[in-house]
Structure 1
Amino acid sequence: MQNLEKILRILDSGKIEEKIRLLETLEHTNNPEIVEQIILRLDDDDIKVRGEAFSSLVLNENEISNILIKNLTSANKNIRGFTALVLANRNEANAIPEIIRLAKDERSMVRACAIGALGHLKAKVAKEIFLELLLDSNLEVRKSSLKAIIDLEISISNSKIGEIIKEKDPEIEKLLSQVKKI
């Protein structure tokens, strides 16, 4: 128990370097309390700590998917979005239904992460969502949707392409050149 207390103390109030060193050693943990604490670091102030937490969760070969899936409903946008990406990088196809729910999240960052995760997981069941989000209010969400559509070889109508091209964004135009048209 003393070891757990030390881990929690470092993750809560340790220096950045201490947190990173500790997170590097936790990729094999199956302790649910520690896994939860690692997930909380996906919202750390320091990007290196967030990255190390992400890596630790992706590399963890234990059955932690239920803990990760539970965190898709976190009040914190970074935890929702980055957890979706962790699940995708772990190839957790069982999380697709929960990740689909995030595609309608109020935060554009979470929507973009969800779409990226669904694309990575080759979630063809999300085809209509990808097509719908091509016209999202956020440019990154639109790009993520377009990338998923290209990767999954989903066809887009010429009229939809006409709507998208109005964007005048060079990256969108480049992606559109790769789209399968119907």
Structure 2
Amino acid sequence: MTLLEQIRKTMQIGSKEEKIKIIESASYMTDPKALEIIVSGLGDEDIEIRGEVFSALLLNENDISEALLEGLKSKDKNIRGYCALALANRNERKAISRIIQLTEDQSAMVRSCAVGALGYLRAVEASFAIQKCLDDPNIEVIKSAIKSAIDIKDKILISKLDVLAKQSDPEISRLVVFARNNL
């Protein structure tokens, strides 16, 4: 059995401990096929496995952006969302246009991750997508959009603060106060 086959088999049917052992080696991987298999672990049903994969991808000092960009196309919402966050944490500015597309994803979790990633990247060029997320039907997406608008110092957010302040969510109220004081 090749190393690639072993990685694939372990990630598909291995025990939690076996998966973690393979994932720990991902911090040094460069093989695109192996990285693709590891990235698929972001869709694992076990949140601890997803966390281990996310951590390994952040710790990997090699250029793994292609594997993460491919993950943005996954059918699995967890893979799409976590790949957006991993790209942001790795400061992959070339991913901004692809992450912007995810702000219109069918999954609220993915939209929230995408808009948060754009804020983390201080992607001023994404201001329109971030502003659009301020009107999202999902409260978590709105919170991420407010934080991101603050991060990119989007002055248009000020005009929406009164509307946002009417939300009954205490975290949104705190963010609105923070935005008023910092924009």
Q: TM-score range by the shorter chain?
A: over 0.9
Give the TM-score of the pair, scaled to structure 1.
0.93
Q: CA deviation at 1:22?
A: 1.6
Following the alignment from structure 2 to structure 1, what is the Cα–Cα distance between the partners of residues 142 and 72? 21
Q: Residue 141 of structure 2 aligns with which residue?
A: 141
Alignment partner of 1:121 is 2:124: no
Q: Which moved more, 1:17-26 or 1:118-127?
A: 17-26
RMSD over equivalenced CA pairs, Å: 1.6
CA distance in 2 between partners of 1:26 and 1:133 (Å): 34
Structure 1: how far apart are the matches of 2:95 and 2:157? 29
Gaps of 5+ in 1: none
The letter for the 2-side match of 1:113 is: C
| Structure 2 counterparts to residues 16-165 of structure 1, below 5 A | 16-156=16-156, 159-165=159-165
**Following TM superposition, where does structure 1 have runs of at least 4 consecutive aligned residues deviating by more than 4 angstroms?**
none
Ranges in structure 2 where 5+ consecutive residues have no aligned partner: none
Amino acid at match of 1:101: Q
Equivalent pairs, count: 182
TM-score, structure 2 length as denominator? 0.93
- Distance (whole Å) between structure 2 residues aligned to residue 7 and residue 93 of structure 1: 30
Provide the C-alpha distance between the structure 1 equivalents of 2:24 and 2:97, rounded to a whole number of angstroms. Answer: 30
Q: State how far apart, in whole Å, the 2-side matches of 1:130 and 1:3 are.
A: 42
Shift of 1:82: 0.8
Partner letter of residue 6 of structure 1? Q
Q: Map Cα deviations across residues 9-37 of structure 1 (whole Å, 9 max, x no partner).
A: 21111101111122112211111111001
